[in-house]
Amino acid sequence: MSDNTLISYEPATGEELWRGEHTDVAAAVSAARKAWPEWAARPLANRMEMVRRFANEVRAEADGLAELIARETGKPLWEAKTEVDAVINKVEISITAYAERTGKKKLDSALNGTAALRHKPHGAMAVLGPYNFPAHLPNGHIVPALIAGNVILFKPSEKTPAVGAALVRCFHKAKIPEDVVQVVIGGPDEGKKLVAHPGIDGVLFTGSAQVGIAINRKLAANPGKIVALEMGGNNPIVVTDTPLVKDAAALIVQSAFTTTGQRCTAARRLIVVESMVEPLMKELLPLAKSLIVGDPLSEPAPFMGPVIDNDTADRLSESFLALVTAGGKPLTHLRRPDPDKPFLTPAILDTTDIPDRPDIELFGPILQVIRVPDLDAAIAEANNTRFGLSASLIGGSPEDYARFWANIRAGIINWNRPTNGASSSAPFGGIGLSGNHRPAAFYAADYCAYPVASTEMEQPRANIAIGVKD
């Protein structure tokens, strides 16, 4: 096997799924830059029609693409199908967003001519995708950027290249020119080359805070390059008084363990007022233990598949043991049924008595319980993080939620809903270590084009009335 070959393995079976050669980044950027002027010069209506064709191609291949996502990520097939639906739906949402966020305006000003506002594309955009939603999340950058008139170099995660390649094939089947959307196969080296390449006009990244900060640092001296960072979260879900304890437990499970906890919006910390701890645990712990963990294509359908690979499973197991060693009390254990495969059972542990809880994103099915005396203490604890992506309040009155909403530092704040499952029709992003104030989803249009203000007259008309000699 060549050192230039990237191989993808199925997490659930360990079998090889796909292989491909690493991309020559310099050649790809050169091709993209040559393709950009023609693509940017196309009428907006034409670019919109092209991405609508792309949606139709994805729709035609929906079953095969969903199975590929399930095999390469390990997520259950039912969930992979929802990801494909999100890819399709993103197109019309992005078209609407472009019209609302980056439309044209003209303001007639009589003798002073016309004042106009239009938007221009940046140029060649690097899209760096994650492994947890290998089609939907990069697509959320790619489609708005194409509509705006940019060309794309999409580097999928080295853990999910097969889905990335399949997604780009759908763009090409829709007759979008091959150099306008390219897939860049490779690992961290190819990602670094893309970020640093002078021919790249913007970097649109979804992934860990560690990598996002490295990108930010690398480009700190280059303010001309647009950078949008969508990073992770140490997200709190707060439970206060509610009679609907069973529903609260279901919302917590959805928040913490959907996608095996591999969502940037997954609940990592369950903060519970003391009066709710006992009744909540009576519902939550049996429910968590009843979740089916299994092969993504098996029947009956599992709630959780494996995490992405064995290295990730090893690190999560070590993190769980570290929390227990530091004083955490296991309520449900993180178990690994097969030591050779990355399946993990959902873990819940009480970390209230750990003096300095680590403020990190444990990207997997580990939920920490923190007991607090009241809602004000819960809000303070929820904000005890450098991250600020998602937060939910379960229970309480409208007044409680108003207090929660006003004081929580996060870009997504929900009431009696999970921390995850955000709508593509709203902006998506966080503060602190969760992002750099470039929210994606509906607001992705904002970083895909820049505003140009103009004043215009059909003929030159001017005179200098003051300070001129006779």
DSSP letter for each residue of 376-445: HHHHHHHT-SS--SEEEEES--HHHHHHHHHH---SEEEESS-SS---TTSEE--SGGGBSS--EEGGGH
Beta-bridge partner residues of 239? 272, 394
* Token pair for 3: 């050192």
d(CA 250, CA 269): 15
What's 446's DSSP letter? Answer: H
DSSP letter for each residue of 160-210: -HHHHHHHHHHHHHTT--TTTEEE---SHHHHHHHHH-TT--EEEEES-HH
* Token pair for 136: 């939907």
286, 308, 246, 221: which is closest to 10 by C-alpha? 308
Please report, for residues 242, 253, 337, 448, the alpha-carbon distance to residue 246 in angstroms, rounded to integers and kept in the order given. 10, 11, 28, 43
d(CA 91, CA 87): 7
Beta-bridge partner residues of 348? 332, 367
8 A C-beta contact, residue 394 and residue 250: no
Q: List the catalytic residues.
A: 230, 264
Please report, for residues 22, 155, 274, the alpha-carbon distance to residue 194 in angstroms, rounded to integers and kept in the order given. 13, 9, 50
